[in-house]
Amino acid sequence: MIEETGKAVSEVSRLRKSSTLADRVGSSLPFTSELHATIHRWLVEEAYTLDQQRYESWLDMLTEDIHYVMPVRVTTALGTPFSTSPGMAHWDENKYSLSRRVARFLTEHAWTEDPPSRLRHFVTNVRVFETDVPGEVLADSAMLLFRSRGDVNEPSIISAHREDVFRDVGGEYKLARRVILVDESVLRTQNLAIFL
C-alpha cells in the first residue's frame, strides 16, 4: 500500500470512511494468469470509457465505498521518508463527490470542459497482486494522459503511478480504491476537471 509518513494514504484521509485498506500479498501474478488478464482488460476498458467521457458509465464501474485520492507530491531530500505532502491532496473523493463532479459536467456551468477536452489515457506496466482481503485484488499501473483543449493552448501530459484495489461484486470487478501518484510536484495542466 502506498505510504504517507508511515500511514497508508487512504488511512489518513478524511473522506476514506469505510473504504478498503487491502494490501498486496506476495509477488505479482504471472501475466498468463486469468485474474491478471481480467484486471488488465478492466483497466483498458476504463481508459476507453474515460477517453469517450462516458462518466456516468464510469461511475457504474466503482464501488459505493470508493476512495479516489491523488496526494500532492513534494520534492524532498534523499532519505526523506515521504514523497507527498501529509494530509494534502489534489483529489480526495468518495462516490458522492465523484458523482457531483459528473453531474456538473452535464450542466451548462461546466466551463472547464466547454469545449470538451480531447483525452487519451495510456495504461501500461500492469501488475496484479492478491490481497489480504478476500474478494479483493490490487493492481499497479503506469498511466499517461494526453489532454488537448481548444486550438491555441498547448496540450497537457500527465504521467502517474496508480495503485488500484478491485472488489468482486456479484461476479464483476469494481474499483474500490485508487491512489494516484503523479510524477511531477507542479502540474502543468489548465485544471483538473478530468479523471485519471
* pLDDT given for residue 104 in this prediction: 85
Tell whether omega for the bond before 71 is within 30 degrees of 0, i.e. cis: no
| Cell, residue 137 | 485484488
Between residues 128 and 193, the one the model is more confident about: 128
What is the C-alpha to C-alpha distance for residues 113 and 171, in angstroms, rounded to an integer? 35
* pLDDT given for residue 184 in this prediction: 84
For the chain, what's the residue count? 196
Average pLDDT, the chain: 86
Q: How many CA atoms lie within 13 A of 127 on its CB side?
A: 13
- The residue-averaged pLDDT of 89-114 equals 83
Question: Is 3-182 assigned to CATH 3.10.450.50?
Answer: yes
pTM for the whole thing? 0.86
Q: Is the pLDDT of residue 90 over 90?
A: no
* pLDDT given for residue 6 in this prediction: 40
- The residue-averaged pLDDT of 133-160 equals 90
Q: Where are the domains of the chain?
A: 3-182
3-state secondary structure of 190: coil
Q: Is the pLDDT of residue 85 over 80?
A: no
